[in-house]
Amino acid sequence: MSIYSPKGINAKIFPYQHFQGIDSSRDPAAMDTGDNLHLVSVKNGFCDWRGVINRDPSAERREISEGVVSHVTFFGRNKTVFARRDEGGTSLCSDTNINVQDVYPRNAVITSTQFNLKTVVATAGYNMYAFDGYAWDAIDTVNAPKPAYAVTTNRRLAVAGIPGRETQVLFSRVDNFNIWPEDESTTSTEVTKAVYIDLKNYIGTADQIKGLATFENFKFVVFTNDRAWVYSLDADYTRWTLDDKSHVEVGVVSHNAITRAGQDTIFAARNGIYSLRRSSNGLQIINVPLSSKIDLLYRSLVKNCPNPEEISAFYDVDNGQYNLYFPQTDYVTTRLTMTVSPVQDEPSKFSVGNFLNSRCGASLGGVTVLGTPGGLYTQRNIEDELELAPEMVVVTPILWQGQMTEQKQSVSFILQATGKGTITVEAFDEEGRALSDMTFDIEPEVTDGTFSDVPLVAQYDRKFEHIYRGVQFRFKTNGVGLLKIIGFAVQVRKGT
């Protein structure tokens, strides 16, 4: 940050830049690091891999709905199906207006997968439904299971969470979800027939299956509350094996919070976010904690969610973000976002949001859709100027600017930002008492394009004359389209 002291003022510059997202593992009074600064809160914004704070993208209405969208997924390129809650129950809908009304209870937790070019939807204790783009058809053959969870693996539909069969995973016949284990002849030797596996004597406790996932190309993962088992599968069921080199000693909080991210499988447990991946020697499959910096925040979000099975997630590959939703009611949801750095070994950065109170989402082919209490919305890019834009709020830790016990006398506040909109900066002392607030009108015309690989820079300076031991700032934004906070600085008189 190239800042110079005004003539005649013997002042020292304290710059703050390269922001690192939320850190709830430390007290706000013990986080002042200057450069590479962690933040107390980042709401409706995120810190990118450069350490720049970006306002979250805007959104536009995709489909008008009278009920709450509780689950959404894609059945084709830019074509979605979703579950909608209303007073009568949960309906299955498509954005082409092909619907079946009230087929599930109102508070049903919906899961989905793609199989045989159809979207298969499930909820515990009820018939699965399949959508082919033209109609919804119930999977209601005599022996068809009524599972809570469904995934596709090795040309089979795998289901679990069946009432009365809580430790079993059922696999359909290869390429056919209408044939299940009870439909097969006991004397059949076909290697593609429908089968099941039972974990009851592996679990050894009263634990139950809570989620299913795929991993790498031919691995299949069965999650319980407290751990997971990894299988190597094949279309030929006689070649299935339990991977004895996997060590996954943590369970999942919700099936819908499991998602693929490249070669990794990311999932949410009771105490944090984890990644299922290969160990450094390539032999073992292990769980790697990803959210240690926000452990207190994460546990509070889970605690405030009445039904943890309603927690859901999706991975936005274009923006490198794992978005995790914690519904508190049908109309109030907190989103936790983990922004993954494209730079190897760089830590992920965390932020939260409540824009539109979206409670679920899906991303495919560059299109991201959000399910909200008011229908479906399409999320756009951060630079798109739309009517529906979030208000970003960022809170810094207490900044001591030297010794914690010494008083400082500030001179001015300098902000570096780019984009278009208004940023209000509120200042508080170490006791939380308000000092002042400043408003900056960010104009896109004031830019510096000297280097193509760094954000455009605009520098704004305000008088900021106060006496304090420590200072804390809260940034609030208003406007639409691109808005970034690149850094800020405080000029403090020397000798104070």
Tens digit of pLDDT for each residue in 91-148? 999 988 999 999 999 999 999 999 999 999 999 999 999 999 999 999 999 999 999 9
Strand residues in 166-233 grouped as ranges (E): 168-171, 195-198, 209-215, 219-224, 228-232
Q: Which fold has domain 59-379?
A: Methylamine Dehydrogenase; Chain H (2.130.10)
Rounded Cα distance between 387 and 390, Å, is 10
Please give the mean pLDDT across all residues of the chain: 91
Percent of the chain whose predicted confidence (pLDDT) is above 70: 95
pLDDT of residue 216: 86
16-50 as b/e: b if 16+ CB within 10 A: bbbbbbbbbeeebeebbeeeebbbbbbbbbbbbeb
pLDDT of residue 398: 97
Rounded Cα distance between 73 and 55, Å, is 25
Strand (E) or helix (H) holding 361: strand 360-364
Among residues 120, 128, 118, 124, the alpha carbon closest in space to that of 105 is found at 124
Structure tokens at 248: 């996954």
Domain ranges of the chain: 11-56+393-493, 59-379
Is residue 103 a contact partner of residue 126, using CB atoms and an 8 Å limit?
yes
Percent of the chain whose predicted confidence (pLDDT) is above 90: 77
pLDDT of residue 450: 52
Indicate the pairing of strand 408-419 with strand 458-463: antiparallel
Indicate the pairing of strand 434-442 with strand 471-478: unpaired
| Mean pLDDT, range 197-209, rounded to an integer | 89
User: Which residue, chain included where needed, has tokens 């199906």?
Assistant: 81
Structure tokens at 371: 């399910």
Architecture per CATH, domain 11-56+393-493, reads as Sandwich (2.60)
Is residue 308 a contact partner of residue 254, using CB atoms and an 8 Å limit?
yes
pLDDT of residue 279: 81
More confident residue, 457 or 442: 442
Is residue 172 a contact partner of residue 128, using CB atoms and an 8 Å limit?
no
3-state secondary structure of 299: helix
The answer on pLDDT for 35 being more than 80 is yes
156-188 as b/e: b if 16+ CB within 10 A: bbbbbbbeebbbbbbbbbbebbebbbebeeeee
Structure tokens at 91: 């309906």
Structure tokens at 205: 């406790």
| Mean pLDDT, range 24-33, rounded to an integer | 93
| Mean pLDDT, range 344-349, rounded to an integer | 87
**With 0-12 CB in 10 A as exposed, 13-18 as middle and 19+ as buried, what is 409?**
middle
More confident residue, 188 or 398: 398
Bridge partners, 336 (sequence order): 324, 352
The answer on pLDDT for 174 being more than 50 is yes
Strand (E) or helix (H) holding 297: helix 295-303
Indicate the pairing of strand 393-395 with strand 360-364: unpaired
Q: If you write DSSP's letter for every residue of 91-124 in order, what string do you get? A: EEEETTS--EEEEE-TTPPPEEEEETTEEEEE-T
Rounded Cα distance between 338 and 280, Å, is 23
The answer on pLDDT for 446 being more than 80 is no
The model's pTM: 0.92
| Mean pLDDT, range 26-40, rounded to an integer | 92
Is residue 112 a contact partner of residue 371, using CB atoms and an 8 Å limit?
no
CA distances 256 to 32, 112, 252, 323, 357, Å, are: 37, 9, 10, 12, 18
Rounded Cα distance between 88 and 103, Å, is 9
Task: Mention every residue, 6+ apart, whose C-beta is less than 8 A from residue 246.
Answer: 228, 229, 230, 284, 285, 286
Task: Please give the single-letter amino acid code of residue 376.
Answer: L
User: Which residue, chain included where needed, has tokens 């949001």?
Assistant: 353
The number of C-alpha atoms within 13 Å of 182 and in the hemisphere containing its C-beta is: 5
3-state secondary structure of 331: coil
Measured over the CA atoms of residue 47, residue 294, residue 318 and residue 286, the dihedral's sign is positive
Q: Tens of pLDDT along 329-339?
A: 999 999 999 99
Q: Tens of pLDDT along 239-269?
A: 999 988 888 889 999 999 999 987 889 999 9
